[in-house]
Amino acid sequence: MNTLSFDPKSFANLRPLVYHITHQNNVPRLRKLGIIQPASEILRLAKQEDLIRKKRNNELTIAVDTGLVTLNDQVPLNFTNVQLNPGWREEDVVAYVNEHVFFWPGDNDGPKRMGARFGDHYSDKQRVALRVATEQLFRLNEQPLFCPYNFGAPRKQHGAAVLRGRDLFQSASRFTRTEGKVVELAFRSTVHLPRCTEVSTPSGVWTSLWEETG
């Protein structure tokens, strides 16, 4: 039986900041609504539900009620490195990813470990990062889920494909490792952003998400 390895408060103490990568086109909408919606919800708003289960090999810009939204590509989701859990298909994994909003745990120096490496894939002038105080994010939102791996960018381990299934993301009460082993956290819902949320500028300066610049 799994035991509680940590609680969200201890995780927030260890990783006081979390990071989320998005396209700069999305910043005005994030500023207006104060929320991040899962890709699946964006696709439903755009009446393109058929894309929820299809891997995006390129970024996708679609129209919703408040304007245009650009979804990141899913190129790092390489299925040659994946062993699917019984009963799962590739499209199930894609849908699972699209149903969540993901963050990389870190501190003032940036996201830790694989989060920083994964961010390199999107390190161009079209992407920005959001930086949020972990404790305040947890206060505003439902129970976070934790994963000891980079779910969306699987890599073979010792030459063997790695498992992917819904059981890799667990609540703190079911996580079998310590808080230091968390590589990624997610919410399976729309995420409400606290007023402390910051956004990176192209020059690398952090400013309040709600402070319009240039």
150-203 confidence digits (pLDDT tens)? 888 888 888 888 878 778 899 998 888 889 999 999 999 999 999 999 998 767
pLDDT at 124: 60
| Pair 60, 51: CB distance under 8 Å | yes
Q: Which residues face 64 on adjacent strands?
A: 67
Say what the pTM is. 0.90
Q: Which are the contacts of 67, defined by CB distance < 8 A and separation ≥ 6?
A: 28, 29
Encoded tokens for 128: 């920005």
Q: Which residues face 192 on adjacent strands?
A: 35
Is the model's pLDDT at 76 over the cut of 80? yes
Compute the half-sphere exposure of residue 152: CA atoms within 13 Å on the CB side of its CA. 26
Q: What is the pLDDT of residues 103-142, one digit of tens each?
A: 999 998 888 865 444 445 445 658 899 999 999 999 999 8
In one-letter notation, the amino acid at residue 31 is R
pLDDT band at 149 (very low <50, low <70, confident <90, very high): confident
Q: CA 106 to CA 179: how far, in whole Å?
A: 12
| Pair 22, 139: CB distance under 8 Å | no
Residue with tokens 């909408």: 29
Q: Which are the contacts of 112, defined by CB distance < 8 A and separation ≥ 6?
A: 15, 104, 105, 106, 183
In one-letter notation, the amino acid at residue 178 is T
Judged by average pLDDT, the poorest of 17-31, 49-63, 113-127, 155-169 is 113-127
In one-letter notation, the amino acid at residue 144 is P
